[in-house]
Amino acid sequence: MPDGRHGNQPTMPFTSKPSEPIRQLLAGIKAFRARYYERRPDSMRLLATEGQHPEVLLIGCSDSRVDPALLTMAEPGELFVVRNVANLVPPYQPDGAYHGTSAAIEYAVRALKVSEIIVLGHAQCGGIQGLIRLRAGQKAEDDFVSPWVSIAGSALDPYVGPEGSEQARADAEKLQDTPAVIERAAVRASVDNLLSFPFVREGVDAGTLNIHGWWFDIESGEMWAINPITRLFQPVE
Ligand SMILES: [Zn+2]
């Protein structure tokens, strides 16, 4: 089979005429350049010459409605972001597998020395809905999403009967109407998993690293945060 390095050229996945969504993005890049490179070039130049020194690592969902930089009006260089399905943190598992989220956490904490980590969950999370459906006994037709969201399986445990039981199915089905409970529990589970990373635990114990759990309500635009004492979510002032 030709692989592009010799033999026949394979069909490249590019088109010469940009589609409407791509045209829109290119226009956005032009506007970004005008704003950050023409009107105030110093800040970008500084980031280019001195490198990035973000103080915050944010772990968010891939959901297109919950863009961390847009939500927080953050400037380039302020947020180190990793986004995945359902904003999950897996447990610390140095087994040589492809751990994208863990790699980002490691780089942010050990190399960039961030002082804050935020896990940002949100309402109407498709990943969490998938997790609830799985527990309700519905078969999923995917290769990667189901195993991935099962990381947050423990978030469901307090709300549903023993796995595989009829009770579990009934409980999980009911939860489909109130997924926010699980979305928030999953943020708590991710915060707990963060603490299984030795370098995160070390920073927290030394007082150099703070961890936050947030949940964004898409409908109202309200941000909720975990109260460190009660571990319950409450709206941020
Ligand atoms: Zn989501």
Domain range annotation of the chain: 19-51, 52-235
Please report, in tens digits, the pLDDT of each residue of the chain (237 residues total): 445 455 566 777 777 788 999 999 999 999 999 999 999 889 899 999 999 999 999 999 999 999 999 999 999 999 999 999 999 999 999 999 999 999 999 999 999 999 999 999 999 999 999 999 998 888 889 999 999 999 999 999 999 987 778 898 999 989 989 999 999 999 999 999 999 999 999 999 999 999 999 999 999 999 999 999 999 999 998
Gap from CA of 123 to ligand 1 centroid (Å): 7
pTM: 0.92
Gap from CA of 177 to ligand 1 centroid (Å): 16
Gap from CA of 64 to ligand 1 centroid (Å): 9
- Per residue in 77-91, is it b (16+ CB within 10 Å) or e — as a string? bbbbbbbbbbbbbbe
Gap from CA of 79 to ligand 1 centroid (Å): 19
Q: What is the pLDDT of residue 1?
A: 47
Gap from CA of 210 to ligand 1 centroid (Å): 23
Which CATH number is correct for 52-235, 3.40.1050.10, 3.10.20.340, 3.40.640.10, 3.30.930.10?
3.40.1050.10
Gap from CA of 97 to ligand 1 centroid (Å): 24
Gap from CA of 121 to ligand 1 centroid (Å): 7
